Amino acid sequence: MTTAESTIILGTYGYSPGLEGVPAGETAICQLDEGGAGLRYRGYAIGDLAARATFEEVAYLLLRGTLPTKSELKDFSSELASLAVLPDRILAFLATVPRDTHPMDLLRTAVSWLGLLDREPRHPLREAQLRASIALLTQIPLVIGTAHRLAMGDGVVTWDPGMGFAENLLSFLTGQKGDGRARAMARALEVSLILYAEHEFNASTFSARVTASTMTDLHSAVTAAIGTLKGPLHGGANEAVAEMFVSIGNPNLAEAWVKSALAEKRRIMGFGHRVLKQGDVRSDIIQREAERLSDLCGERRWYDIARAVDLAVRRERGLHPNLDFYTAVVYLLMGIPRVLYTPVFVCSRIAGWCAHIIEQQEHNRLIRPRALYKGPAPEAYVELDDRR
């Protein structure tokens, strides 16, 4: 096919670099309004879920399609606790991995290994996939928490069935639990997990669906998603935002820092979104949590720096903060190590990934797009001895 023929054929469908704005499939999981106000998980507004639901309820909603009743939620929480165990081979792997290993590399390998050890049927039976998904909901926090504790010279972490998902995760990463301050932090963490849990066909979710469309196993598709999220253009933004706040150090220096960064054409992380051009409703929700937690902790420095940067960037460039921006304030206040911010993202988004993997395979069509050829014109083959 010549370049001209390729252009004609693909021109029928239109071409958008990076597939920006191109519908690539159907889903009943997430509705994303480009105006930013209409984000819904299976019909439920994100604002209502963040304000009134637990992460367990949201995970159940994404995976099973409905909000749970009290008895269903109790059974689901019990199932999470019963599956919250790491095989001995995974524990041995975590104990021997080099201490300077990036947590996302470690997590990618651990999930692949969990797939190797998974004894569920190797075909897309819905209940088998759901059980594997629910197991990953607890196994991933256990991998992250155990690796973190071992790196600090401590022992493995264990799931406390008497605490909720966010409380367990906070305990794994910071050691905080039990008192009123820890419960307030756990609730702020829970809100962030709910907000991060799902966001339509983002890069990692689309990667998972492409992989799932070959009818491979769930763990392979999740491993692909983790590898995609590791890239700094997708995951890691809240970590970069936190580093920016630490670098600025003082709210009074924020405006000058922003102007200097813009003059030097440095990217200011935590602003803008490929789809949400007019603002991100999730940012407004997590901003309120950041301010509330700052006041509760008696530490407003990070929030005040964030607010000053936010106002300066809006004034200078008209850009809106995304979810990652004020989430960095919340995680700084909790004392979560910055290198673990993206793995925490995985603890949340795994619910959305698995829901999409199951949906893709239940209504599957192999995802195989076309490319717009831009290479050389047709050439006649030249024998080796005749080439010059």
Name the residue with tokens 């401590």: 154
pLDDT on residue 233: 80
Q: Residue 120 has what pLDDT?
A: 63
User: What are the pLDDT digits (tens) for 146-168?
Assistant: 999 999 888 899 999 999 999 99
What is the model's pLDDT at position 153? 87
pLDDT band at 235 (very low <50, low <70, confident <90, very high): confident
pLDDT given for residue 35 in this prediction: 58
Quickly state the pLDDT bin for 3 (edges 50, 70, 90): very low
Domain-wise residue ranges, the chain: 3-21+369-386, 30-234+342-362, 237-334
Percent of the chain with pLDDT over 90: 79
State the Cα–Cα distance between residues 22 and 33, nearest whole angstrom.
Answer: 14
Q: Does residue 97 contact residue 106 with C-beta atoms inside 8 Å?
A: yes
User: Mean of the pLDDT values across residues 281-303?
Assistant: 96
Q: What is the pLDDT of residue 145?
A: 97
Nearest CA to 250 out of 324, 323, 307 is that of: 307
CA atoms 312, 318, 320, 324: torsion sign: negative
Task: Please state the rounded mean pLDDT for residues 303-316.
Answer: 96
The per-residue pLDDT for range 203-224, each reduced to its tens digit, is 999 999 999 999 999 999 999 9
Least confident stretch, 118-122, 145-149, 377-381? 118-122
Q: Sign of the CA dihedral 333, 338, 342, 348?
A: negative
Between β-strands 40-41 and 44-45, what pairing exists: parallel, antiparallel or unpaired? antiparallel
> Which of 324, 325, 297, 300 has the alpha carbon at shortest distance from 310?
325
Residue 219: half-sphere exposure toward Cβ, Cα within 13 Å: 24
Domain 237-334: CATH architecture, name and number where available: Orthogonal Bundle (1.10)
Do you know the residue count of the chain?
Answer: 388
Told to judge if 320 belongs to the known catalytic residues of this protein, a careful annotator would answer no
Residue 52's SS3 state is helix
Q: Kindly report the number of other CB atoms within 10 A of residue 64's CB atom.
A: 18
CATH class of the domain at 30-234+342-362: mainly alpha
Structure tokens given for 259: 């102007």
Q: From the candidates 219, 310, 324, 356, which is the catalytic residue?
A: 324
In the chain, where does DSSP find H-type helix? 3-11, 46-52, 55-64, 70-83, 88-96, 103-117, 126-151, 165-174, 180-196, 203-212, 218-229, 237-248, 254-263, 281-297, 301-317, 323-334, 341-362
CA distance 350 to 226: 9
Is 273 designated active site? yes
Closest CA to 234 of 277, 273, 268: 273
In the sheet where 40-41 sits, what is the strand order? Answer: 30-31, 40-41, 44-45
Nearest to 169 by CA among 151, 180, 150, 185: 185
Query: Average of pLDDT values for 172-198?
Result: 95
Residue tagged active-site, from 199, 273, 320, 356:
273
The structure's pTM equals 0.92
Q: Nearest CA to 169 among 155, 195, 189, 184?
A: 189
DSSP 100-144: TS-HHHHHHHHHHHHHHH--S-SS--HHHHHHHHHHHHHHHHHHH
Rounded to 5°, angle at Cα 179 from 173 and 181: 75
For the chain, what is the mean pLDDT?
91
Query: Are the C-beta atoms of residues 190 and 165 closer than 8 Å to each other?
Result: yes
CA distances (Å), origin 124, targets 116, 128, 147, 184, 358: 16, 7, 31, 40, 8
DSSP type of residue 278: T
